[in-house]
Amino acid sequence: MNALLPNRKVAIIGSGFVGASIAYALTIRNLAREIILIDLVREKAIGEALDIQHGIPYLGMSSVRAGDYSDCADCDLIIITAGRNRKTGESRLDLIADNISIMRSVVSELKPQYTRGVILIVANPVDLLTYKVAEWMDLPNGRVFGTGNILDTSRLIRLVADYTGLSTEVIKGNVVGEHGDGQVPIWSRLSIAGVPVGEYCDSVGLPWNETIREQMDRTVKGMGAEIIKDKGKTHYGIATCVCYLADSVLNQRLTIAPVSSVLQGEYAVEGVSLSVPSIIGANGVERRLEETWAKEEKERFLQTAAKMKTALQGI
Ligand SMILES: NC(=O)c1ccc[n+]([C@@H]2O[C@H](COP(=O)([O-])OP(=O)(O)OC[C@H]3O[C@@H](n4cnc5c(N)ncnc54)[C@H](O)[C@@H]3O)[C@@H](O)[C@H]2O)c1
> Which comes out higher in pLDDT, residue 96 or 60?
96
Mutate to test the pocket of ligand 1, among 36, 40, 240 (most ligand atoms within 8 A of CB): 40
Residue 159 has pLDDT above 60, yes or no: yes
Distance 19 CA to ligand 1 centre (A): 7
State the chain's mean pLDDT as an integer: 95
Report pTM: 0.97
Q: Where in the chain is the domain with CATH 3.90.110.10?
A: 150-313
Query: Does residue 40 contact residue 66 with C-beta atoms inside 8 Å?
Result: no
The pLDDT of residue 3 is above 50: no
| Confidence band for 91, pLDDT divided at 50, 70 and 90 | confident
Is 179 assigned a catalytic role?
yes
CATH fold group of domain 9-146 = Rossmann fold (3.40.50)
Task: Work out which ligand 1 atom sits closest to the CA atom of 18.
Answer: 16
Which residue puts its alpha carbon closest to atom 5 of ligand 1?
A: 238
**Catalytic residue, candidates 8, 86, 132, 179:** 179
Long-range Cβ contacts of 214-222 (<8 Å, 24+ apart) = 216/156, 216/159, 216/160, 216/163, 216/185, 217/185, 219/155, 219/159, 220/152, 220/155, 220/156, 220/159, 220/175, 220/183, 220/185, 221/152, 221/181, 221/183
The reply to whether ligand 1 has any atom less than 6 angstroms from the CB of 86 is yes
Question: Domain 150-313, CATH 3.90.110.10 — does that match?
Answer: yes
Q: Which residues contact 131 (CB under 8 A, 6 or more apart)?
A: 262, 272, 273, 312
> What pLDDT score was predicted for residue 57?
75
